[in-house]
Structure 1
């Protein structure tokens, strides 16, 4: 069985090393993983998405023209994927996308930071991009050629999760991860910082890539 190529995108205030455990787990499931570094701390999402587009175009040029890749993003990395899908001319080269703990409808914590600590979001510009009003400006692609699934966490033991009134993973609400038009959606009992490190998450990513559904037993 030929290895499938999956490109992994880290989240806010992280680098590619944060996706290395997921990459190792996926490699055990016969995937070839490519980790990318993006400026997702002091730059806005639009700039990081522009750089990602350049990176992935180089990757696509380096493989067989008939070969497709999978995109897997944690947290803000999922928003990078969504922006790429809206702007790329190579949509047919993407097989499946999995968004893990992505604030698709924005981050309430980012809203709070902007309201009470305005200087904070002026410095950490990625956080500014995660505000509800800004995240909602990223349209949801509607293209039958693309399968997109999302995995949310529900474990608010992280301190900041106590500030959120709805079910959450300690950083992002379950409600924000979900959106109409997803091929499939599932909730795992993990918090935001651990969900992409878990073997079960890798299994579910594999399920979705192969079948379009999260079918592993929980």
Structure 2
């Protein structure tokens, strides 16, 4: 059966950044729909309002018994969490996968806000990555929706040197994990590459099919 998956890009990116993941998932029998959101110079609330309308239009094109999966990279995962918190259509969501998402906030965004406030005034989406803001997005635990998260631990980016904990060059592994997830896994990839890897797509597919990233051994 074809799985309908919505892919949401991260900060300072557009839907092109999700092309490779979409192509890989399509090989695994997914129908992928990519959304374009203003996740750079606009507040995340504005981007979320666009996303909400996009999903409403997508659901309107589907039959009432069809459900969708939401897959987000980085800030895209926060958009998903906001949607789960606010939507009246949670019964139409099947699975959500958050890839390298700062679920407990971004230490780098905190630093930028504290020491380089001009950046958060220009790149307004950064404000939503601060720990203070992310803590306001409650985790929605629902029997209707499974949520899994994938973190990377390959620190191959310059900014990652400012982080003391295990990280992917942008986000601490500990920030991707939070209690209530149906499953969590760490892969040996960096923040900008993790969603390009075939292994990531394969694990996303496993989670959507079974609720677990790794196939259980018997």
Q: Report the TM-score range of the alignment, normalised by the length of the smaller protein.
A: over 0.9
Asked if the contact 1:203/1:216 (under 8 Å) is kept, the reply is: no
Deviations 1:100-121 (A, max 9, x none): 0000111000011111111110
TM-score, scaled relative to structure 1: 0.97
Q: Which runs of 4+ in 1 moved over 6 A?
A: none
Q: Secondary structure at the match of 1:142?
A: coil
Partner Cα separation in structure 1 for residue 91 and residue 38 of structure 2:
27
TM-score, scaled relative to structure 2: 0.97
Deviations 1:34-69 (A, max 9, x none): 000001001111211111111001000101110000
> Which position in structure 2 is the counterpart of 1:84?
83
Structure 1, unmatched stretches of 5+, are none
Q: How does 1:160-175 map to 2 (within 5 A)?
A: 160-175=159-174
Q: Secondary structure at the match of 2:205?
A: helix
Deviations 1:71-103 (A, max 9, x none): 000000000000001111110100000000000
Q: How does 1:194-209 map to 2 (within 5 A)?
A: 194-209=193-208
Partner Cα separation in structure 2 for residue 61 and residue 157 of structure 1:
42
Return the offset for 1:213: 0.2
Structure 2, unmatched stretches of 5+, are none
RMSD between aligned residues: 0.9
Q: Are residue 124 (structure 1) and residue 123 (structure 2) matched?
A: yes
Return the offset for 1:216: 4.9
Partner Cα separation in structure 2 for residue 213 and residue 207 of structure 1:
6
